[in-house]
Amino acid sequence: MPGIPALSDQSMTFQSPGPSPVFHPTWPQAMEALADDPGVAVVLGGSDTGKTTWVASAARQLGRAGQWPLAIVDGDIGQSTIGPPATVALSVLKETRHLEGSLSFLPSHAFSFVGSVSPIGHLLQLLVATTRLVEKAVRSGARTVLIDTTGLIDDGAGFQLKLRKIELVGPRHLIALQREKELEAILSVVRERPGLRIHRLAVSPSARSRSPAERSAYRAQCFAAYFAKAKRLALESSRLCMLTPPTGRFRLRAGCVQPLLEPSVLCAEDLTGLLVGLNDPTNETLGLGLLEGASQDGRAIFVLTPLADAAPIRILQMGNLRLDQSGKEV
């Protein structure tokens, strides 16, 4: 498969598959439409409306219909199931055994660091990451690409984000999971897009809301799993370009690598544990790291990362969150 490496061990196998989902009567019809008419499918809905549950169920249904290869792009940067939080991740599936457990058992074939666990302030990064990975999925030969998304659908940023995402990826199917009519504003804008099929689905009565504490505990668990085998890696600072976050408390001067290299600045800014993307020259993410410090002479930057090879890393993309040893945001 071009551009898609063999299944890696980056899957996070700590979640049990859980009970079988209870399908709302509106669900099977949309899944059949996808099986009959493969293409890119965007799944939209507020938080806890069952988007991820629907994606997992649809993937199993498509698998049973023999629709391989099948791709899932997980664009929910806060409650990621594939790849670590703060990233958009791609999994390309080729056989049934990939779908036997929950989505968090799936390996990520590629992921793109967004820099935040919330879309606000990182809309461009989220859009570009999603588009790049959908393109990669299509290039890999996936017949159907299921795109899971965040629950941000409000009238302001959420409306713009979802509308522009639809414009960029040009889906064949739009799965709209609504409690009431909260997606109708977006749907009214795209309803006459040529080639787009809209499926309005009801939220299952079994859908359960998660508290902010549950959400952040889940993220900590995901980060801990990702960094479980991390080791210190030294990056040569003269070969690195620094991308600072667009907003927030860790904002340094744009493109400026120097202040970070001074240990005094590192301590004063309290950047230890800062989540960073370790990216190649095209800004594709090779892995994530946690900033540890810099050498006295400033020639080396130390990161904790599961990546073993520093050679291809050219861009260090700073996120807007710091993690402690247990993966908790501090």
Ligand X SMILES: Nc1ncnc2c1ncn2[C@@H]1O[C@H](COP(=O)(O)OP(=O)(O)O)[C@@H](O)[C@H]1O
- The whole-angstrom separation of Cα 303 and Cα 291 is 5
- Pick the piece of the chain touching ligand X (CB under 6 A) from 14-22, 58-66, 102-110, 132-140: 14-22
Q: Are residues 77 and 88 in contact, defined by beta-carbon separation less than 8 angstroms?
A: yes
- Pick the piece of the chain touching ligand X (CB under 6 A) from 49-57, 89-97, 113-121, 132-140: 49-57
Which is nearer to ligand X, 4 or 72 (by Cβ)? 72
What are the tokens at 81? Answer: 């199931």
Interactions with ligand X, residue window 142-161 (CB under 6 A): 151
Q: Print the binding letters for residues 237-276 with ligand X: x by CB under 6 A, - otherwise.
A: ----------------------------------------
| Phi, psi (degrees; rounded to nearest 5) at 114 | -90, -35
Assess 69 for contact with ligand X (CB under 6 A): no
Three-state SS at 113: strand
Which residue carries 């969150």 as its tokens? 321
Q: What secondary structure letter does DSSP report for 306?
A: S
One-letter amino acid for residue 322 of the chain: R
Which residue carries 């080729």 as its tokens? 94
- Residue 141, H or E segment: none
Which is nearer to Mg ion, 69 or 78 (by Cβ)? 78
Assess 47 for contact with ligand X (CB under 6 A): yes
Strands 300-305, 285-294: pairing kind: antiparallel
Assess 22 for contact with ligand X (CB under 6 A): yes
Assess 51 for contact with ligand X (CB under 6 A): yes
Which is nearer to ligand X, 206 or 247 (by Cβ)? 206
- Residue 161, H or E segment: helix 157-169
Query: Measured over all CA atoms, what is the biggest interatomic distance in the chain, rounded to whole angstroms?
Result: 65
CB of 55 to ligand X, least distance (A): 8
Q: Are residues 316 and 255 in contact, defined by beta-carbon separation less than 8 angstroms?
A: no
Q: Taking CA 76 as the corner, what is the angle to CA 112 and CA 115, rounded to the nearest 5 degrees?
A: 45
CB of 165 to ligand X, least distance (A): 16
Residue from 11, 52, 57, 144 touching Mg ion (CB under 5 A): that is 52
Which is nearer to Mg ion, 175 or 261 (by Cβ)? 175
Q: Which residues of 278-309 are buried (b: 16+ CB within 10 A; e: fewer)?
A: bbeeebbbbbbbbbbbbeeebebbbbbbbbee
Assess 49 for contact with Mg ion (CB under 5 A): no
Which is nearer to ligand X, 146 or 207 (by Cβ)? 207
What are the tokens at 322? Answer: 């710091």
CB of 76 to Mg ion, least distance (A): 5
Q: How many residues bind ligand X (CB under 6 A)?
A: 16
Interactions with Mg ion, residue window 66-105 (CB under 5 A): 76, 79
Assess 13 for contact with ligand X (CB under 6 A): no
Which residues of this protein are in contact with Mg ion, per CB under 5 A?
Answer: 51-52, 76, 79
Which residues of this protein are in contact with ligand X, per CB under 6 A?
Answer: 18, 21-22, 45, 47-53, 151, 204, 206-208
